[in-house]
Amino acid sequence: MSPSNRPGLYVHVPFCSAICPYCDFAVITGDADRRSRYVEHLLRELEISSGLSDFDTLYFGGGTPSQLSHDDLRAVGERARLASDCRVFLEANPEDVTHVSASRWREAGVSTLSLGVQSFDDDALSFLGRRHDAADANRAIETAREAGFETLSLDLIFGLPGQTLAQWRRILDAALAHEPEHLSCYQLTIHDDTLFGRRKREGKLLEMGDERQTDLFLETHRYLCDAGYDGYEVSNFSRGAEHRSRHNEKYWDHTPYLGVGPSAHSFDGRVRSWNERSLFAWQKWIDSGALPVSGKESLDNDQLLLETIVLRLRTRDGLDFDAIIERFNVDLLASNRGLVDRLCDEGLVELDGHCLRPTLEGLAVADSLASSLQLPDKPCQPNLQ
């Protein structure tokens, strides 16, 4: 569980210099003028979004947050009601990392730099439509190192069509050579409404088969574990607990968070809401003085419980049955004893005291683990304060 229950703040920066063919985020290419209008609106949104404060994480995600100037970053940090020990995360593309930019991000308070390296293989990078090559990635990492971020995180993508285990290991080796404190390794997911999705439908792109994807997924965890990394979540690895993503962990344990910027999601412990996806609609609402929210849902206790199960089983810390009893007044272990025993026998989970922890094999099937647990028939009688 995250070390604090204080909320997190997510800032969505929708700009990219070009749109990657696999990306389904709310992104847009934009000029300086558009960016400065966006920042103005962002600051206004922070003002009108009351409620949460004392954020102990601030995460700039995107899109490409490294397209914002450090002044913009600083302005957002100043406008938000941050805790004094707040950690600041910034996603950056390798081509945006220079000695100047890196040191300015440091000055602006960024403690974790998350580099969208994606690969160290030039062919893979060009397939992914990235604007950098392996040499750029290496240079960017070294530059970031010199700037002295507390945590350097690298994003990698595996499971490209035709990728072999050996090729992927070489990419991991190239990443490990930099001894990053944190790694996020995502399997390439082909979304329908992307260029890749279209190519797939047209039969021009052959998605990797399930068996090989599974092999790569398991190998990623084993390989990084051997290298001293803790695969604490399906796609996330850290060298030591202090380098885990304190911000992302809030998503996985239902800590409240505020999201600002187009398409950003917020959660207050009960209600989840999401902003307008389009930059223009988002700006219009803010111009009119209203929150740019396009939808929201209020979760009932069953839904909160289900989400807890789903999210916790994606982490190696697992699902704490005692915490569930305390929060929902439901003894999940008692009502799933037989299932849990069988899952243990199958080597998919371990029961560690009152904690159900997925094994690596269990992590690979976390979704169905979550759906196989029986929820109580009658609505929960919560202990929610």
Partner 1 sequence: MTLANVRNFCIIAHIDHGKSTLADRLIQRCGGVADREFRDQILDSMDLERERGITIKSNTVTLLYDANNGERYQLNLIDTPGHVDFSHEVRRSLMSCEGALILVDASQGVEAQTVANLYIAMEYELELLPVINKIDLPAADPERAREEIDADLGLDPFEAVLVSAKLGQGIDELLEAIVEKLPPPTGDATKSLQALIFDAQYDAYRGVVVVCKVEEGTLKPGQNIRLMHTDKEYEVEEVGLLQLKRVKKPELPAGAVGYVIANIKTIRDIAIGDTITDVANPAPEPLPGYKEAKPVVFSSIYPMSTDEYEDLTKALDKLTLNDPALTYEKDSSAALGFGFRCGFLGLLHLDVVQERLQREYGLSLLLSAPSVRYRITLENGDVQMIDNPSDYPDPMSIATSEEPYIKASIMMPERYVGVIMELCRDRRGENSTFTYLSVGRVELTSELPLAEVLFDFYDRLKTVTQGYGSFDYEMLDYRETRIVKVDILVNAERVDALSQLVHEDKSRARALHYCERLANTIPKQQFKIAIQGAIGAKIIARTTINAYRKDVTAKCYGGDITRKRKLIEKQKEGKKRMKMVGSVEIPQSAFVAVLKTDES
**Binding positions for partner 1, rule: CB under 8 A:** 10, 186-187, 189, 210-211, 213-214, 217-218, 234-235, 248, 251-252, 257, 259, 263-267, 272, 274, 297, 303, 306-307, 310-311, 314, 342-343, 346, 348, 361, 363-372, 375
The residue among 151 and 255 lying less far from partner 1, judged by its C-beta, is 255
In angstroms, give the least distance from the CB of 52 to partner 1: 14
Distance separating alpha carbons of residues 314 and 317, to the nearest angstrom = 9
The residue among 49 and 248 lying less far from partner 1, judged by its C-beta, is 248
In angstroms, give the least distance from the CB of 33 to partner 1: 27
In angstroms, give the least distance from the CB of 189 to partner 1: 6
Long-range contacts at 140-145 (CB < 8 A, ≥ 24 apart): 140/92, 140/94, 140/95, 140/97, 140/115, 141/94, 141/115, 141/117, 141/178, 141/180, 142/178, 143/97, 143/98, 143/99, 143/102, 144/92, 144/97, 144/102, 144/113, 144/115, 145/178
Residue type, 372: S
The residue among 311 and 323 lying less far from partner 1, judged by its C-beta, is 311
In angstroms, give the least distance from the CB of 126 to partner 1: 22
In angstroms, give the least distance from the CB of 371 to partner 1: 4
Complete DSSP assignment for 13-68: E-B-SS--TT--SS-B---HHHHHHHHHHHHHHHHH--S---EEEEEEEES-GGGS
The residue among 24 and 40 lying less far from partner 1, judged by its C-beta, is 24
In angstroms, give the least distance from the CB of 338 to partner 1: 8
Distance separating alpha carbons of residues 301 and 41, to the nearest angstrom = 35
What 3-state DSSP class applies to 11? strand
Give the torsion sign (CA, 202, 204, 205, 206). Answer: positive
The residue among 143 and 372 lying less far from partner 1, judged by its C-beta, is 372
The residue among 22 and 285 lying less far from partner 1, judged by its C-beta, is 22
Measuring CA to CA, which residue among 262, 269, 347 is closest to residue 304? 269
